[in-house]
Amino acid sequence: MKDERTPEQKYNDWVRAVNICHAKGWMCCGGWAFQSPSGSIHDLSCADLDKLDDIEKQGHFLTAKAK
């Protein structure tokens, strides 16, 4: 699938994601990597951000464990 968004649209989508995640207690680690409240790190670049609780509980998009 080719991403047809402009650089500005991509940036705006990322800023929106940071704000949504922050409101749920998640922190951006850089790019699309986010640390959940429990400390797990997930790549949320293709995630449905309405399902952050399920993503954390079920370990979806898991990239690493925080130390």
Residue-wise pLDDT for 6-63, tens only, equals: 999 999 999 999 999 999 999 999 999 999 999 999 999 999 999 999 999 999 999 9
What CA–CA distances, in Å, run from 2 to 6, 19, 29, 41, 53?
A: 12, 25, 25, 26, 29
Q: Which pTM value belongs to this model?
A: 0.88
What is the DSSP code string of 9-37? Answer: HHHHHHHHHHHHHHHTT-EEEETTEEE-T
> Which tokens sit at 3?
């991403």
Taking the domains of the chain in order of start, what are their residue ranges? 7-65
* Whole-number pLDDT of residue 64: 66
